[in-house]
Amino acid sequence: MSYLVDENGYYGEFGGAYVPEILHGCVENLQQNYLKIIESESFRQEYMALLRDYVGRPSPLYYASRLSDKYGAKIYLKREDLNHTGAHKINNTVGQILLAKRMGKTRIIAETGAGQHGVATATVCALMNMKCEIFMGATDVERQHTNVERMKMLGATVHPVRTGNMTLSDACSAAIRDWCCHPSDTFYIVGSTMGPHPYPDLVARMQSVISEEIKEQLKEKIGRDYPDYLVACIGGGSNAAGTIYHYVDDERVRIVLAEAGGHGYETDYTAATFHRGTTGILHGAKMLVMQDGDGQIQEAFTISAGLDYPGVGPMHCNMYKKGRTQVLSINDDEAIRAGYELTRMEGIIPAIESAHAVAALSKMKFNPDDVVVLTVSGRGDKDIETYLNNKEKAGEYGQF
Ligand SMILES: *Cc1c(COP(=O)(O)O)cnc(C)c1O
């Protein structure tokens, strides 16, 4: 049994491609061509060269000795925060823009929440001289203002979306609506392992460079190419998918994902989709979704804009349902505290999303010989205000 996508675009009962009639041709064209293109020699060469010279890969695998002492295990951090533009998102946008070019598309659209995917998309559009339009909830435009200015400076047009809660989920819907109006010339660069097939598989493959590198780096550092635990935060699921990709069928490796609990998964202020979601269809795929009895999507709530989504990618839904993945719900205050802890113990200010993964460590039990690889999905520059406004949640670390 494999946990990767089947030939029909499903992961067990999850996935598929539920799109409006007008996009059928477009999505089918992508389904039929993406593997041919991304597995071709010319694509591989151009993609790998950009990952190396433009993104700055391989990202280091860093042995965090103070963190290791504290938690009683051998903890390694996969440093996606050191990538160009500050997160793992760029791995995917570099790949998808090369695919868009090879498919003859001239206009790029994307959705964004915190603005990290918007910035990563605007960046590669500048690089490739492509027209770029970003859809972003009006609430997020306000709370992530610096990223909006970065996108504009890079040459993108940013469309504030004023429907619904005016956050990520509404931005996704707006991007899909725009795509329906321009199916022939437009390529939609999806930012996470979500959307209609083949996007979840496409994005997972683009991020799989993370686990490819972890294998090589572990082999070099500890003489074996697998850890006992992989830990990552999860919103739509792309950094998690990249972290686990080459290990999904390796049962020696335990997978622990950290989702955003907000005020607590048992409250109404949460984004803990695994704990609270039920099967539904959102943005083109069948997945776990937070919804009411009538199938109305519920608003997600978390301090972390990058995890503020009421669904989760189909690959992860299937692995969770089959018991392959353990999911921990991390509350806002726990994430803040863990962000301060990593800052003070290792000198690394993580993105508030990544801080959720760090917080998972305190809920896990280790043997001293356990090897843990934890992905730091992004850097915390964008979150300094959030950290400072929540100092009181950081305990002794907040006294400054
Ligand atoms: C976007 C983002 C996430 C969440 O998205 P995934 O697709 O689940 O990885 C996590 N961390 C950072 C830094 C992000 O920018």
Give residue-wise pLDDT tens across range 202-223: 999 999 999 999 999 999 999 9
Q: Are residues 159 and 192 in the same domain?
A: yes
Helix axes 41-50, 24-38, angle to 10 degrees: 80
Structure tokens at 3: 């946990």
In this predicted structure, what is the pLDDT of residue 260? 98
Choose the final residue of a domain: 203, 221, 252.
203
pLDDT of residue 268: 95
Cα-to-centroid distance, 93 and ligand 1 (Å): 13
Which of 172, 203, 234 is the endpoint of a domain? 203
**Using 50, 70 and 90 to split pLDDT, how confident is the model at 2?**
confident
Residue 81 Cα: closest atom of ligand 1? 13
Q: For position 236, what pLDDT does the model report? A: 97
Cα–Cα distance between 374 and 360 in angstroms, integer?
Answer: 10
For residue 1, what pLDDT is reported? 64
Rounded Cα distance, 110 and 203, in Å: 13
Contact between 231 and 256 under an 8 Å Cβ cutoff? The reply is yes
Distance CA 280, CA 14 (A): 9
Q: Are residues 294 and 362 in the same domain?
A: yes
% of the chain at pLDDT higher than 70 = 100
**Rounded distance from Cα 87 to ligand 1 centre (Å):** 8
Mark which of 203, 226, 251 sits at the end of a domain: 203
Which residues are bridge partners to 285 per DSSP? 282
Q: Going by CA atoms, what residue is nearest to atom 13 of ligand 1? A: 378
Domain contains 355: yes
pLDDT for 175 equals: 96
Tell me what the mean pLDDT of segment 330-338 comes to: 98
Give SS3 for 364: coil
Q: Looking at the predicted structure, is the pLDDT value of residue 247 above 90?
A: yes
* pLDDT of 251: 96
Range of the domain at 310: 58-86+208-398
CATH number of residue 36's parent domain? 3.40.50.1100
CA 113 to ligand 1 centroid distance, Å? 10
Are 227 and 369 part of one and the same domain? yes
Do 229 and 107 lie in one domain? The reply is: no
Looking at the structure, do residues 123 and 191 belong to the same domain, yes or no?
A: yes
Cβ < 6 Å from ligand 1: which residues? 87, 89, 114, 116-117, 192, 233-240, 306-307, 351, 353-354, 377-378
Residue matched to tokens 């780096």: 217
pLDDT attached to residue 165:
85
User: Which atom in ligand 1 lies closest to the alpha carbon of residue 203?
Assistant: 7
The answer to whether residues 95 and 70 belong to one domain is no
Q: In what order do the strands lie in the sheet with 186-188?
A: 157-161, 131-137, 107-112, 186-188
Q: From atom 7 of ligand 1, which residue's Cα is the shortest distance away?
A: 238
Task: Report which of 243, 267, 241, 355 is spatially closest to residue 304, judged by C-alpha positions.
Answer: 355
Q: Give mean pLDDT, residues 281-307.
A: 94
Q: How confident is the model at residue 309 (pLDDT cuts 50, 70, 90)?
A: very high
Among protein residues, the one with the nearest Cα to ligand 1's atom 10 is: 353
Q: 225 and 103 share a domain?
A: no
- Compute the average pLDDT of residues 340-369: 98
Examine the pLDDT at 245 and tell me if it is beyond 80.
yes
In a domain, residue 120? The reply is yes
Contact assessment for residue 193 and residue 237, using Cβ atoms and an 8 Å cutoff: yes
> Does 249 score more than 80 pLDDT?
yes
- Reported as a single tens digit per residue, the pLDDT across 9-18 is 999 999 999 9
CA of 49 to the centre of ligand 1 (A): 24
**Of the given ranges (52-56, 117-121, 303-307), which has the lowest mean pLDDT?**
303-307
**Inside any domain, residue 19:** no
- Determine, yes or no, domain membership for 16: no
Residues 128 and 197 in one domain: yes
Mind spelling out the 3-state secondary structure of 205-224? Answer: HHHCHHHHHHHHHHHHHHCC
Whether 134 and 185 map to the same domain: the answer is yes
Q: Where residue 232 falls among pLDDT bands split at 50, 70, 90?
A: very high
Q: Does residue 164 lie in a domain region? A: yes
Q: What is the mean pLDDT of residues 220-236?
A: 98
Neighbours of 281 (CB within 10 A): 14
Q: Angle CA(147)–CA(50)–CA(150) in degrees, nearest 5? A: 10
The pLDDT, as a whole number, for residue 271 is: 97
Q: Which atom of ligand 1 is nearest to the CA of 80?
A: 13
Q: Output the pTM of the full model.
A: 0.98
| Sign of the alpha-carbon dihedral angle for 45, 223, 347, 242 | positive
Distance CA(239)–CA(191), nearest Å, equals: 10
Q: Are residues 246 and 104 in the same domain?
A: no
Question: Is 249 found in the same domain as 119?
Answer: no
Contacts of 313 (CB under 8 A, 6+ apart): 192, 193, 194, 200, 236, 237, 238, 241, 285, 287
Judge whether 15 lies within some domain.
no
> What domain count does the chain have?
2
Residue 10 located in a structural domain: no
Q: Please check the confidence at residue 143 and state whether its pLDDT lies above 90.
A: no
181 & 304 share domain: no
Q: Is the pLDDT of residue 53 over 80?
A: yes
Nearest CA residue ID for atom 14, ligand 1: 306
Region 184-213 average pLDDT? 98
Instruction: Please report whether residue 146 resides in a domain.
Output: yes
Q: Is the pLDDT of residue 75 over 90?
A: yes
Catalytic center residues: 89, 111, 377
Angle at 192 between CA 186 and CA 196, to 5 degrees: 60
- Considering the chain, what is the average pLDDT of its residues? 96
Query: Structure tokens of 352?
Result: 């508030």
